[in-house]
C-alpha cells in the first residue's frame, strides 16, 4: 500500500523549513525512525525521522527547497 509522508512540525513556532539534504534515496528501504532528511529552521538544523516503514518510491523536494509543515514530502510503499 502506498503512503504519503508529510512534513511534521519540527518546533512549536516553526511553519516552514529549508531542505538541507535527503539521507535516503528513491528505492531505499526505510524503517520507522530512520532519518529521512536534514532540514534547517531559523535557529537549528534538524533530522526528520520517518513515520512509516517501507520502500521510498518518490521524493517531492530537492536541496534548498522551502517546505511547509503538512506538505507531502515523499511517497513510500509498505513492505
Question: Would you place residue 65 in the very low, low, confident or very high pLDDT band (cuts 50, 70, 90)?
Answer: very high
Residue 16 lies in domain: 2-77
Indicate the pTM of the whole model: 0.91
Digit-coded pLDDT (tens) for 5-45: 999 999 888 899 999 999 999 999 999 999 999 999 988 99
The mean pLDDT of the chain is: 95
Integer CA distances (angstroms), 1 to 6, 7, 8, 12, 22, in order: 16, 20, 21, 32, 23
Number of domains forming the structure of the chain: 1
Beta partners for residue 48, in sequence order: 37
CATH number for the domain that contains residue 67:
2.40.50.100
Based on its alpha-carbon atoms, the radius of gyration of the chain, rounded to whole angstroms, reads 12
Amino acid at each position: 500500500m502506498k503512503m504519503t509522508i508529510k512534513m511534521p512540525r519540527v518546533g512549536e513556532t516553526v511553519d516552514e523549513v529549508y531542505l538541507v539534504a535527503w539521507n535516503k534515496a528513491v528505492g531505499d528501504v526505510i524503517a520507522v525512525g530512520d532519518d529521512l532528511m536534514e532540514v534547517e529552521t531559523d535557529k537549528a538544523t534538524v533530522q526528520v525521522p520517518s513515520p512509516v516503514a517501507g520502500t521510498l518510491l518518490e521524493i517531492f523536494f530537492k536541496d534548498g527547497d522551502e517546505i511547509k509543515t503538512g506538505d507531502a514530502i515523499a511517497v513510500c510503499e509498505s513492505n
